[in-house]
Amino acid sequence: MSAFRGPQAWRSRWRRKPLARWRRNPLWRWRRNQLRRRSDVLEAWVLFSAWTVTVLCGVLTGLAAAHSVEQGLARERAEWRPVRALVAEDAPESSAAASSGADRVWAKVRWTTANGSTHSGQARVAAGSATGTPVTVWTDRDGLLVTKPVPPSEAQVRGVTVGLLVGVSAAAGPFVGGRLVRGRLERRRMERWDEDWARFGPMWGRKTG
């Protein structure tokens, strides 16, 4: 009968087939056996806690971010209003813009709010628009120029995209932290196995040699 060669040999053998060993016994840390140590139970709880916090942080943070984005865009659709404005200066007519299909250019426009105050600003208008040409612009509650509100379908896509990015970013913290703690526990367990084998290995070899 050959002597047991210690934890170093066991580790090299275990690493050759990690997936098969994991499939055979994925919950070995939770099962009662004589070889299970306190560090194994601690590692099991660390993994469980890390995965739980990772999933909760990712899901809850992602949902909150998506809801916030969609709510903000819905508020813009409710508050922003189209206003009739007039081109204040002749809009430039660029041959480069026409050749590329971009038939809208920036030009100065002027509009009047509901309270009678007059405002002016830069807006996108048709290339070559003459002074006095009517255009439609969007303003907020203060009468300032804004872009056209995002439609509900696009708002939902933006919310989902932002939610996924924020959720993954939030989940990365506890996931990486759990991996670091697990790695530290793994190294500590291997060190203890090496120490135990250095102490009891010679005795085992004399009995089985």
Which segments within the chain are labelled E, that is strand? 81-87, 104-112, 118-126, 134-139, 145-146
Closest CA to 43 of 58, 30, 59, 62: 30
23 or 191, which is more confident?
Answer: 191
Tell me what percent of the residues of the chain surpass a pLDDT of 90. Answer: 35
* Model confidence at 166: pLDDT above 80: yes
- Is residue 71 over pLDDT 80? yes
Output the average pLDDT for the chain: 78
- Which pLDDT tens digit goes with each residue over 74-107? 999 999 999 999 999 888 876 554 444 458 888 9
Query: Are 171 and 57 contacting, i.e. CB atoms less than 8 angstroms apart?
Result: yes
pLDDT at 2 over 60: no
Q: Quote the pLDDT of residue 5.
A: 52
CA-only gyration radius of the chain, Å: 34
Q: Is the pLDDT of residue 180 over 90?
A: no
Distances (CA, A) of 105 to 92, 95, 129: 7, 12, 9
The pLDDT of residue 98: 46
| More confident call, 68 vs 41 | 68
What is the C-alpha separation between 162 and 61, in angstroms, rounded? 10
Answer yes or no: pTM beyond 0.75. no
2-6, 42-46, 69-73 — which is least confidently predicted?
A: 2-6
Burial bucket for residue 65 (CB in 10 Å: 0-12, 13-18, 19+): buried
Question: In the prediction, which pLDDT does 23 show?
Answer: 40
